[in-house]
Amino acid sequence: MLKKNIEDALNKQIRVEAESSQIYLAMACWAEVKGLEGVAQFMYDQSDEEREHMLKLVKFINERGGHAKISALKEPNVTFESFKGMFEKLFEHEVFVSESINNLVHITLEEKDYATHNFLQWYVAEQIEEEMARTILDKINLIGDDKGGLYLFDRDIQQLTVTSSASTPLE
């Protein structure tokens, strides 16, 4: 049985994951309209993944005797100055999500809820992968304003999407 404060914190994380899915979806739409098919597909895939993260939390809460709650979401930003600016926002958001998960882990340790702590370790490991936006930003900085580099980057990120989604199955 979940303690109330842990249930509340997990429900807050449901919202974070749902908003993450919406942010990625908005980024996918923006990239697609700009002709960045690879970036758009990467963002669509990330949006789906974040929704799966949310559903994992929903099921965990309900299975542990709590009640998962779905709340209203903040509308995501739908325009960006550049694709570099979009990835900078993405990275900032992923750092925020990592902090949120770390806070959750801390609460479970304080409450000695080792089952929830163990469950959250999957999210801790997943966030290390999610912060790959830092590596992507490094590549974008190398490209600069080179249109040919942007074209190659768009193709390369499509391959990254195929590789990462094939190697990280959802439990």
Q: CATH topology for 4-167?
A: Ferritin (1.20.1260)
pLDDT of the residue at 29? 97
Going from the first residue of the chain to its last (171 residues), give the mean pLDDT of each consecutive group of 10, the final group possibly shorter.
96 97 97 93 94 98 97 92 89 93 97 97 85 79 76 76 46 41
Q: According to the annotation, is 7 in a ligand binding site?
A: no
Q: According to the annotation, is 53 in a ligand binding site?
A: yes
Cα angle at 16 between 117 and 52, to 5 degrees?
75
Q: According to the annotation, is 67 in a ligand binding site?
A: no
Helix axis angle, 133-143 to 83-110, nearest 10°: 160
Alpha-carbon distance of 11 to 17, in angstroms, equals 10
pLDDT of the residue at 148? 74
Q: According to the annotation, is 171 in a ligand binding site?
A: no
pLDDT of the residue at 34? 93
Nearest to 119 by CA among 5, 4, 6: 6
Domains in the chain: boundaries: 4-167
pTM for this one?
0.85
Expressed in percent and rounded to 5, the helix, strand and coil fractions of the chain are 80, 0, 20
Structure tokens that stand for 8 in this block: 């509340």
Q: According to the annotation, is 127 in a ligand binding site?
A: yes
